[in-house]
């Protein structure tokens, strides 16, 4: 697995998301596996589970903030789930779920050997 960073712009502000081993661990602890969580956030299979979507995006956005704080010696505050919920609402649930699924897909793309 490689760290995968993705950003999206909304209302003249850019938001970064990072999916890495830290985020994967938190998701596994809460949902049992990344696959179970991903099924809840997959908008192609019906209604997106709002709690799972907000949880995943919050973890990814806060990981990006935490990394930037570490690398640049900053002290930017982490986002709350309510703040992320508002961002998702403005961006649209479907669009947010699609961005989230893209991050997961891209981050694990090279994990599986091609000739199994």
Domain count across the chain: 1
Residue with tokens 């002290």: 75
Could you tell me if residue 61 is inside a domain?
yes
Could you tell me if residue 41 is inside a domain?
yes
- pLDDT one-digit tens code per residue, 38-94: 889 887 767 899 999 999 999 999 999 999 999 999 999 999 999 999 999 998 888
Q: Which two tokens stand for residue 59?
A: 């973890």
Q: Which domain holds residue 99?
A: 4-108
Using CA atoms, how far residue 48 sits from 9, 14, 51, 96, in Å, is 22, 24, 9, 10
CB atoms within 10 A of CB 65: 18
Judged against a pLDDT cut of 80, whether residue 112 lies above it is answered with no
- pLDDT one-digit tens code per residue, 34-53: 999 988 988 776 789 999 99
Could you tell me if residue 102 is inside a domain?
yes
Could you tell me if residue 113 is inside a domain?
no
Q: Which two tokens stand for residue 55?
A: 């949880």
């Amino acid at each position: 697995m490689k760290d995968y960073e993705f950003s999206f712009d909304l209302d003249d502000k850019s938001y970064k998301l990072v999916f890495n081993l830290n985020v994967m661990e938190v998701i596994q602890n809460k949902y049992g596996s990344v696959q179970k969580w991903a099924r809840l956030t997959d908008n192609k299979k019906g209604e997106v589970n709002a709690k799972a979507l907000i949880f995943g995006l919050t973890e990814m956005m806060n990981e990006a903030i935490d990394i930037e704080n570490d690398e640049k010696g900053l002290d930017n505050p982490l986002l709350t789930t309510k703040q992320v919920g508002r961002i998702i609402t403005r961006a649209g649930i479907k669009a947010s779920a699609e961005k989230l699924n893209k991050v997961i897909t891209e981050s694990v793309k090279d994990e599986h050997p091609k000739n199994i």
